[in-house]
Amino acid sequence: MSNRNYILSKEAALEKLHRMALEIAEQISEDNVPVMLIGVKQNGLVIAEKIAHLLRRYVSVEVQLLSVTLDKAHPGNAVLSEAVDLNDKNIIVVDDVINSGRTLLYALKPLLQYLPRRIQTLVLVERMHKLYPIKPDYVGSSIATTLQDHISVVVENGEVTGAYVN
């Protein structure tokens, strides 16, 4: 690792992802309903893929993966990677970092035409500056930062290799 102010190493990030997968498995253990992980493109999708891989070890229900694409600066138009029936499914929307909550809020927009069993959110890193009414259900790490700080999650070759504050 370089001179970046790392808050998560590759090993710590994997440990957090594993713990969150176990939490999800425990939460849905009574449901016999498929789980749909929807990753916010780019890093959120990588995290969703990792969670799906880990989760399949612990649950007997189908675990499906989709992505949602939106411009984080202007998130009004969120588009799912494919049209699937999301009625009566356990849905978890996944992103790397929650700052204001805006991205996750807009990522929920395409889900409004369905009646899922439940919708939850998962983030690897939570900051304490939410401006929108989104509280993640599954959190890898909560970090107290200043408004000027920016948290970056590093993804290389489909693997989370760390997170740092800059």
Per-residue pLDDT tens digits for 7-31: 999 999 999 999 999 999 999 888 8
Specify the CATH number of the domain 12-145: 3.40.50.2020
pTM over 0.85: yes
Query: What does the domain layout of the chain look like in residue ranges?
Result: 12-145
Identify the CA nearest to 107 among candidates 83, 138, 72.
Answer: 72
Q: Do residues 151 and 13 touch, judged by C-beta distance below 8 A?
A: no
Q: Do residues 28 and 61 touch, judged by C-beta distance below 8 A?
A: yes
Cβ neighbours, 10 Å, residue 125? 25
**Strand partners for 98:** 126
Sign of the C-alpha dihedral, residues 96, 100, 103, 104? positive
What pLDDT, in 10s, does the model give residues 46-79? 999 999 999 999 999 999 999 999 987 788 899 9
